[in-house]
Every structure is written in C-alpha cells, then in structure tokens.
C-alpha cells in the first residue's frame, strides 16, 4: 500500500505519486489540474490546509485515498 504523509506538501506528495493530483481533482481540488499550481502554491500547501480552505471533509479525503490504494499517515 502507498503511504501519504499529510505533513508533506502537495508538491512533495505529487512528486512521489503523480496519480495523487488526479485523485485530488476528483475530490474537489479543481486547481490541482493546473501544473503551475503544484509548483507554486503546492510547495507550501498541505492536503489538510487545502481541505480547510476548500471546506472539504478530511474523512471524505481519507476514504477516497483508501479506495485508491493509499494509506494516510498524519
């Protein structure tokens, strides 16, 4: 199983697992589809910070990643 560390930036996670960008887009992080976004805001943005800004439930995020074969570590 692939491990996602929520303390890492979106940029770090997407560098390790490129498919994460598509999963995040599916969850509701539309901006992630813009490659420039990962290289700018993604360098300091974490999934929990983004979830708070976009008002996306962390349980939903964890559930979606689990369905895609990822384990979340906090």
CATH entry, 2-68, from 1.10.3910.10, 3.40.630.30, 1.20.1250.20, 3.40.50.970? 1.10.3910.10
- Predicted confidence at residue 33, as pLDDT, reads 79
Q: Once rounded to an integer, what is the mean pLDDT over residues 2-12? A: 97
Is residue 35's pLDDT more than 90? no
In percent, how much of the chain has pLDDT > 70?
Answer: 100
Cβ atoms 41, 8 nearer than 8 A: no
The total of other beta-carbon atoms located within 10 Å of residue 66's CB is 12
* Bridge partners, 46 (sequence order): 9
pLDDT digit string, tens, across residues 46-66: 999 999 999 999 999 999 999
Backbone angles phi, psi at 28, to 5 degrees: 135, 5
Alpha-carbon torsion (52, 56, 59, 63), positive or negative: negative
């Amino acid at each position: 199983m692939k491990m996602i560390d929520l303390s890492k930036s979106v940029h770090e996670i997407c560098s390790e697992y490129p498919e994460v960008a598509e999963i995040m887009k599916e969850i509701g992080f539309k901006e992630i589809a813009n490659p420039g976004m990962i290289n700018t805001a993604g360098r300091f943005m974490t999934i929990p910070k983004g979830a708070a800004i976009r008002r996306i439930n962390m349980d939903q995020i964890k559930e979606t990643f689990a369905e895609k074969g990822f384990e979340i570590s906090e």
